[in-house]
Amino acid sequence: MKRFVYINDESYQNDYCDNQISNTKYTLWNFLPKNLWEQFRRFMNQYFLLIACLQLWSLITPVNPASTWGPLIVIFAVSATKEAWDDYNRYISDKQANEKKVWIVKNGARKHIRAQDIRVGNIVWIRENEEVPCDLVLTGTSEPQGICHVETAALDGEIDLKTRVIPTTCIGLDSEQLHKIKGVIECPIPDKDIRRFDANIRLFPPFIDNDICPLTINNTLLQSCYLRNTEWACGVAVYTGNETKLGMSRGVPEPKLTAMDAMIDKLTGAIFLFQLAVVVVLGSAGNVWKDTEARKQWYVKYDDDEPWYQILVIPLRFELLCSIMIPISIKVSLDFVKSMYAKFIDWDEEIYDQETDTPAHAANTAISEDLGQVEYILTDKTGTLTENKMIFRRCCIAGTLYGNESGDALKDIELLNAVADNSPHVIKFLTVMALCNTVIPIKSPSGTISYKAQSQDEDALVNAASNLHVVLVSKNGNNAEIHFNRRVIQYEILDILEFTSDRKRMSIVISDSQSGKIFLLSKGADEAILPLAYCGQQIKTFVDAVDKYAQLGLRTLCLGWRELSLEEYLEWSRLFKEANSALVDREWKVAEVCQKLEHTLDILGISAIEDRLQDGVPETIEILRQSGINFWMLTGDKQSTAIQIALLCNLISSEPKGQLLYINGKTEDEVARSLERVLLTMRITSSEPKELAFVVDGWALEIILTRYKEAFTELAVLSKTAICCRVTPSQKAQLVKLLKSCDYRTLAIGDGGNDVRMIQQAHIGVGISGREGLQAARAADYSIGKFRFLKRLILVHGRYSYNRTAFLSQYSFYKSLLICFIQILFSFVSGIAGTSLFNSVSLMAYNVFYTSIPVLTTVLDKDLSEKTVTQNPEILLYCQAGRLLNPSTFAGWFGRSLYHVLTCLMRASFLG
């Protein structure tokens, strides 16, 4: 399916929606019925509504109906008010966005209108620092190179600026032509994928001929982005209102059910069944007593000809009396205290990151007690355990290792001399470092150059090349300029072969402006680049360098290039353009075409970048492991680097205390044998004190999850620690799902967009507000500034929230059952007739008073001292106790309190 957008043509604009944004859940007219429907979908609410309706039958009700209707209305009103307030805030936010003034082109002139009046096909003008009101295809900018810079933090959480370029068919159009431009854009139907936009544009004469020009996401300005460092930009509205990519991705996440909630639901069901049994027994006994004994009493008068439903009166009376077994206020009480748990996390100064001015935040207020029951933590590596502050440390160029002596290649005299002597291999290596990236150079008024990069690796490489005198000065559109030894070298960027998680490499095709030669520059993972070396090149030195750097915990990238003939490039460029113009399977077709160019590379060398551990990571992992929590590291990095980082952060232990088991293989048979061997070792040594862990890479994991899922599930149950290398975002989510299927409580923590699926899949998602942006933090249930804060989040807030919820839940059922049993005992001395011991006023006071006591006790209990954890190791084990508190703990204070209060209530009832 696709849509056709006619540019600046009002006759075709009525087929699509306007740009009015609506994120509200209710309207003024449907709020009451819709909210009531949602509330009465819960079994407990349906139950209490039934009880309240039965109390309206005067023949059977033993108490005033207000004793149930009053609390029921209050509870529903509180929930409805909260929903109404949240929806009203959404309405105010929508109204502000809809009434914002924007410029569009109408009848060849710019006109001011409200944002909600934008229609598909309108040409919209944006000024610097203004927000983009809808999804636009960029057609013009104030920059002569046809580029602009946008900030997408509100869309994807990434704080670095991104470059957007106008389509080649629009290059050269001046401001007057942009007011009168006509054409058609062929694009897919609205979707929520912010990474892809597979479309084509064709302008009508006299602007250009009818050639089709492909469009990608780099030719768009998406809603909620901000225009930066560009005076103005204009574009054609292709998606508006709730059909924008941001609008399509909005939505309420599925509610997560905590272990405590599941237990309460089961307990409620069990109590309900017990209640029915009590009602049947007492109701039957009451009818028998009435027919045998009550009719003999002179003060009781029964009609001889009773209606057929009279037999139901006494059972229904007992049903009403026993309805208090299930506490009517427990949901509101739990919602209130859970909101306070979340506030305790937000207010906690101990988990406030002063370095980045980032407080902790609880986005989900309903699952705090699950933090105290975590059994498996699945963590990303880069940016989560490490700082994600990349520093260029060492390199291997043409078989020569630099930086071994000093630990810093930038200070290696031998490398500096090679640069000064214009060593061809070194200059090529540094040129690839400077050009093969998506970095944007920013020149300040003082003349200094800084770089904006979407990847910290690229930022480290470009800065390292600059320190070695190969300076990327500018990158405007398709032109790039490098300064080297007072020489200015200009290149034309012909094509960019973008990085994907499947290809694991990035390449660009450039043309030297002086010589006219065409080159392919590539960088990527060693397993993606080294196999592409030209026949006869010796790569053993590079393989050894990769292993050596990985043993040091450094991140490695392989760099290569080759010269292209003009004929080869033109033929390939035609295929590349066709693939980029495809509206179906464009990504797959582009990858296939890229493989036809990326071959017989001249491998230039290996770069090694250091990513240091965050402060407190080893200590945090150590104490969490002592508490009985298992750790899995899921990373896209290579195996040796991941193992080294795992050793440094106490995730695994070295020999002889620990043992690492490897699951390797490229074929199904090899993987099966390796998996069986590891599984057998786990079974044999599981009873020994030795710490076992297994390592698996993404290739073997793909085979395992497809063919040997049951065996791997058994391995997951047996193992406490695992390292999964070279895994994709989807594989991370699959592993979380696998552990959830074993009924383990999982917590996933990460900092980047590639961790979002894992975070959303886990029972508890924790995002780190890191250098990769805020995507993970926004998708998570909890966000923190550093990994070390996870210790306090779990062992302090999780434990206290679990204790408090258990306390409140059991007390609610305890006091309800106690009151109910008093009613039942009273029935045996009142003729089993379903008579209430308490009057209506007492029951109303009971519902209000006994609800407020545990809530206030829970809220006022703020002793969140971390010393409680560090000085009492038994707390660590207690955090994993997946059960409610022992009822005997309530036999003390609450037992005595209930005894005295109930005595007063009973006296008041009899006196009344």
Rounded Cα gap, residues 694 and 675, in angstroms = 10
Is the per-residue pLDDT at 904 higher than 60?
Answer: no
Which residue in 111, 167, 161 sits closest to 138, CA to CA? 167
Phi, psi angles (nearest 5°) of residue 521? -110, 130
Q: How confident is the model at residue 63 (pLDDT cuts 50, 70, 90)?
A: low
Res 428: pLDDT: 93
The mean pLDDT value for 484-490 works out to: 87
Q: How confident is the model at residue 901 (pLDDT cuts 50, 70, 90)?
A: very low
The mean pLDDT value for 316-326 works out to: 78
Res 522: pLDDT: 94
Least confident of 307-321, 411-425, 603-617, 827-841: 827-841
Q: In this predicted model, which residue has the larger pLDDT, 605 or 14?
A: 605
Residue 557 neighbours by CB under 8 Å, 6+ apart:
457, 461, 523, 524, 525, 606, 607, 609
Which residue in 755, 552, 725 sits closest to 637, CA to CA? 725
Least confident of 568-577, 789-798, 838-847, 863-872: 863-872
Q: What is the pLDDT of residues 382-429, one digit of tens each?
A: 878 888 778 899 999 988 999 887 788 888 899 999 999 999 999 999
Contact 558, 619 (CB under 8 A): no
The mean pLDDT value for 752-768 works out to: 85
Is the per-residue pLDDT at 857 higher than 60?
Answer: no
Res 300: pLDDT: 62
Residue type, 877: L
Q: Residue 720 annotated as binding? A: no
Q: Residue 4 annotated as binding? A: no
By the 10 Å C-beta count (0-12 exposed, 13-18 middle, 19+ buried), 449 is classed as: middle
By the 10 Å C-beta count (0-12 exposed, 13-18 middle, 19+ buried), 221 is classed as: buried
Q: Residue 458 annotated as binding? A: yes
Res 263: pLDDT: 80
Residues 307-322: b if buried by 16+ CB within 10 A, e if exposed: eeeeeebbbbbbbbbb
Contact 24, 133 (CB under 8 A): no
Q: What is the pLDDT of residues 186-224, one digit of tens each?
A: 888 888 777 788 888 888 877 665 578 888 888 899 988
Is the per-residue pLDDT at 894 higher than 60?
Answer: no
Identify the DSSP state of 793: I
> Hey, which residues does 489 pair with through a beta bridge?
482
Strand order across the beta sheet in which 391-397 lies:
400-402, 391-397, 602-610, 555-564, 518-524, 505-512, 487-497, 479-484, 470-476
Is the per-residue pLDDT at 867 higher than 50?
Answer: no
Q: Cβ–Cβ contacts within 10 Å for residue 112, how many?
A: 8
Q: What is the pTM of this model?
A: 0.70
Classified as helix, coil or strand, 215 is strand
Q: How confident is the model at residue 685 (pLDDT cuts 50, 70, 90)?
A: confident
Residues 848-861: b if buried by 16+ CB within 10 A, e if exposed: eebbeebbebbbee
Q: Residue 229 annotated as binding? A: no
Q: How confident is the model at residue 234 (pLDDT cuts 50, 70, 90)?
A: very high
Rounded Cα gap, residues 378 and 748, in angstroms = 5
Q: How confident is the model at residue 250 (pLDDT cuts 50, 70, 90)?
A: low
Rounded Cα gap, residues 224 and 230, in angstroms = 16
Q: Which domains does the chain have, with CATH numbers?
A: 2-12+118-243 (2.70.150), 24-100 (no CATH), 329-351+796-911 (no CATH), 352-386+614-789 (3.40.50.1000), 389-612 (3.40.1110.10)
Residue 182 neighbours by CB under 8 Å, 6+ apart:
6, 7, 8, 9, 203, 204, 207
Q: Residue 331 annotated as binding? A: no
The mean pLDDT value for 347-371 works out to: 86
Residue 25 neighbours by CB under 8 Å, 6+ apart:
34, 83, 87, 90, 252
Highest-confidence range of 106-115, 566-575, 777-786, 872-881, by mean pLDDT? 566-575
- Indicate the angle between helix axes 729-741 and 709-718, nearest 10 degrees: 70
Counted residue by residue, the chain has a size of 912
> Hey, which residues does 495 pair with through a beta bridge?
509
Q: Residue 83 annotated as binding? A: no
Rounded Cα gap, residues 167 and 203, in angstroms = 11
Q: Residue 799 annotated as binding? A: no
Least confident of 335-344, 352-361, 823-832: 823-832
Res 77: pLDDT: 84
Catalytic residues: 380
Q: What is the mean pLDDT of the chain?
A: 81
Q: What is the pLDDT of residues 603-622, one digit of tens each?
A: 999 999 988 888 889 899 99
Residue type, 644: Q
Q: Residue 499 annotated as binding? A: yes
Is the per-residue pLDDT at 314 higher than 90?
Answer: no
Res 461: pLDDT: 92
Q: Residue 540 annotated as binding? A: no
